[in-house]
Structure 1
């Protein structure tokens, strides 16, 4: 396979290609959170409990996360453009399937295929940035990528609420079809065919990572359903969780001893900023995914707000994040990332704790909107500095692998956040409402007046879990080293891939 040709400056601006790619990227990230606001409607439509409906999100996130390690490498081998287009076709077709399903089980299966398509697309957007933008310009490019990632995950509940109220929950999936078609046409026309790189594939690594993640997520998410005891025969919840951890440890050991080409090149983690960025983004993925469920259930079950009204709660967050992200992206090229990312994570933690304090049945709307606005500040400051810091020092030959690992850790955080928040909500509702299976009893519709205080308390307590996890991310970004282009001035020009190829 050919090595990537380099030139001192790109002969064609990489910005049109990036704009084309982020259309699809926006769509797949919206689908990470859009189901949260439709949860009560899906429960009612399929007569399902909350644990089953949470699997609609968890199945998507799990199928999205696990293949990312290999799809990053596969993009290097067959070309980012080809793999992105194939993933977009699969994602769009699976979206149509989701809207046409007749049972909760069929919906979960369709979401798995959606997740597979998303996993083929995501690493290619980040790899294209790494391979076409010079290091000292990557912050601005990552600001677009980061703004799309942040805003998409916040817009999901808003857009979902409007669609559920006006057209039905099926349209949160049908809307992807025309967007997917437009994204495909633009990508074909604007995204260059970058030179390919030769890679071998670690099949054992894929199997170990998939099995380990499934066992861990299933054990955490279904623990409360089985009262953290026996599932069947000799299989226990804690046995599944323990087995998942052991398999993942075996995966890491295999990556260390594999002398061919491991799925995760552990040498990437010799770059301190890459390691810290992966830890930070996993906590952010956890926090973004976990916070949406209790907030949306509180709004619809305690306040009797419609899906649209509930989704609009997050509108200040999306607007503020979108406004701040380009400005922060420009700062990311010339300011120490620990300042920017640290500000964002501290604001995220503060906003979740603030929400937990004010979340009461009779809380004035403005008291809820203030911490949500602070969440917008958090998202405006987090995404671009962390993403650009993660990839800034990586060699071009590791662009796909680095993007795959980074996006995997973000999605793994989301998977664990979805599973953990489901377990915690069930546990807190059971405790506060003094009912067995409290979550299922309370979440399908408006709760009785006598139970609203207990339901609100349970949802507020649940928000403290992502806040606690995000403290780890805050510590990680505070340990960042100054990027090389800031440590040595003036920055030396870094050769970039010739994007005029193809």
Structure 2
């Protein structure tokens, strides 16, 4: 196969990976009421079905990204794909909440293996001046899966069973793995040298601190409303989380061969992009989980109609992703990012006013605006980050970026869950998240400035 054709087949396969990851974010939210009823879950346990995936992804993705630079990417990706298929099977067959949550943890770990590898492979296959377009196509495919998730989840749940939402990922991930083997080129692996730091022994104490710290903080926020914010358990987990995260930072900054190269955060473009992605993930969760929940719990809509509403919000990305990728290559990242964030934050604030009116049709307008502007954040930021990071650290950079991004989603779910539990106000939730999104604008302007015209 000619190399030019091969890289486009690779892009197609790796775009399917992004689609699979976002599908597992969106397809479950609409099904939560049915899962809760059949398995007899509490409200907190139901939210753990979503957050178990996010949190395990968060804890594992930076570590998995670092390991992705150590082994054959083809074998490493295939192992992650096999784990994802097995975990999906376990979730589909789960007879109780504990089994389902464990399966979601395993899905998150598997996703953490395959997604950073997919970003690294695309970056390896495409020249810098074409990466914006490549990531644009990838985001389009991801948008198709993302838009399909709520609708497919609602249809399967209402007409068959919520268990079917986990069956659909198995043939997808196995098909992607097979395609990667068929089109593989040795050039897609990292070219290692004897003097490379990648050859030094790996250390695992730092990541262990990271896992304990993130678990402690997220659990304290998730369980705070039911345990009590001043209960010994809540306060103890907060202290444990902060202490172990401090140990993690100290370990990684002083170790001669850290598993996670925190020094990458000294790159302004990369650090700014990391923060933007964290906020981006937070507000995505606010829409996917709590907009669907608002339509069902407050407006009394069916799972199918709720899925249609959220799918309509995501549908515009199919038309805007490629356009945004090309505009980013032509005009620079800051140009598209600032306009995208402005539309994104304003749409969430408008959604808050629609929620006050309790109007289903009125809520669709800001949701569609929100979805249309989504690629204007993801594409330019990812492009600047990958161009700013050394080539031999692309997979690790993707892992660190995704750790903090998914941490934003995990904390976002925990905080939004606590806010709804304490206030019961969906308008307040959407308004707060919208204002937080607008705070990204000055950060984006500063972090993108140095690469404007080159990235």
TM-score range for the pair, normalised by the shorter chain length: over 0.9
Per the TM alignment, residue 262 of structure 1 is displaced from its structure 2 partner at its CA by: 1.4
Which of 22, 27, 30 aligns to 1:29? It is 22
Per the TM alignment, residue 249 of structure 1 is displaced from its structure 2 partner at its CA by: 2.2
Q: Is the 8 A contact 1:392 1:483 kept in 2?
A: no
Change in 2 beyond 3 A, CA 1:255/1:133: same
TM-score (norm 2): 0.93
Cα distance in 2 for partners of 1:153, 1:220 equals 27
Counterparts of 1:204-353 in structure 2, within 5 Å, are 204-230=205-231, 235-259=232-256, 261-353=257-349
Q: Is the 8 A contact 2:143 2:315 kept in 1?
A: no
Which of 53, 76, 82 aligns to 2:46? It is 53
Deviations 1:116-137 (A, max 9, x none): 1111101001111222211111
Change in 2 beyond 3 A, CA 1:63/1:373: same
Structure 2 partner of 1:185: 178
Change in 2 beyond 3 A, CA 1:83/1:288: same
Q: Is the 8 A contact 2:14 2:122 kept in 1?
A: no
Cα distance in 2 for partners of 1:298, 1:250 equals 40
Per the TM alignment, residue 10 of structure 1 is displaced from its structure 2 partner at its CA by: 6.0
User: Where does structure 1 lack aligned partners over 5 or more consecutive residues?
Assistant: 1-8, 430-457, 492-502
Cα distance in 1 for partners of 2:142, 2:166 equals 19
Look up the SS of the partner of 1:353 in the other structure: helix
Cα distance in 2 for partners of 1:253, 1:148 equals 39
Q: Is the 8 A contact 2:316 2:372 kept in 1?
A: yes
2:71 paired with 1:74: no
Deviations 1:431-452 (A, max 9, x none): xxxxxxxxxxxxxxxxxxxxxx
Deviations 1:268-327 (A, max 9, x none): 223211110001001101110122222112211222211110011023322211100001
Structure 1 partner of 2:395: 400
Cα distance in 2 for partners of 1:291, 1:367 equals 15
Q: Is the 8 A contact 2:146 2:311 kept in 1?
A: no
2:385 paired with 1:390: yes
Look up the SS of the partner of 2:161 in the other structure: coil
Q: Is the 8 A contact 2:209 2:245 kept in 1?
A: yes
Cα distance in 1 for partners of 2:440, 2:144 equals 20
User: Where does structure 2 lack aligned partners over 5 or more consecutive residues?
Assistant: 193-197
Structure 2 partner of 1:422: 417
Per the TM alignment, residue 46 of structure 1 is displaced from its structure 2 partner at its CA by: 1.2
Cα distance in 2 for partners of 1:50, 1:89 equals 31
2:78 paired with 1:85: yes
Cα distance in 2 for partners of 1:408, 1:152 equals 22
Change in 2 beyond 3 A, CA 1:126/1:171: same
Cα distance in 1 for partners of 2:35, 2:219 equals 21
Structure 2 partner of 1:412: 407
Per the TM alignment, residue 264 of structure 1 is displaced from its structure 2 partner at its CA by: 2.5
Q: Is the 8 A contact 2:6 2:183 kept in 1?
A: no
Cα distance in 2 for partners of 1:256, 1:151 equals 40
Counterparts of 1:51-130 in structure 2, within 5 Å, are 51-130=44-123
Change in 2 beyond 3 A, CA 1:335/1:228: same
Q: Is the 8 A contact 1:64 1:119 kept in 2?
A: yes
Deviations 1:379-428 (A, max 9, x none): 13111111111111222111111111112222111111111111111111
Deviations 1:232-282 (A, max 9, x none): xxx3313312321222122112211111x2132233223211110001001
Structure 1 partner of 2:162: 169
Change in 2 beyond 3 A, CA 1:239/1:473: farther
Deviations 1:6-51 (A, max 9, x none): xxx9676412112112213311221122211111101111121211
Change in 2 beyond 3 A, CA 1:161/1:48: same
2:132 paired with 1:139: yes
Per the TM alignment, residue 353 of structure 1 is displaced from its structure 2 partner at its CA by: 0.9
Cα distance in 2 for partners of 1:35, 1:13 equals 34
Which of 11, 14, 17 aligns to 2:10? It is 17
TM-score (norm 1): 0.84
Q: Is the 8 A contact 2:150 2:311 kept in 1?
A: no
* Structure that is richer in helix per residue: 2
Per the TM alignment, residue 153 of structure 1 is displaced from its structure 2 partner at its CA by: 4.0
2:423 paired with 1:478: no
Cα distance in 2 for partners of 1:385, 1:478 equals 12
Q: Is the 8 A contact 2:278 2:409 kept in 1?
A: yes
Cα distance in 2 for partners of 1:464, 1:46 equals 33
Which of 415, 437, 461 aligns to 2:428? It is 461
Cα distance in 2 for partners of 1:227, 1:155 equals 38
Change in 2 beyond 3 A, CA 1:271/1:306: same
Change in 2 beyond 3 A, CA 1:481/1:22: closer
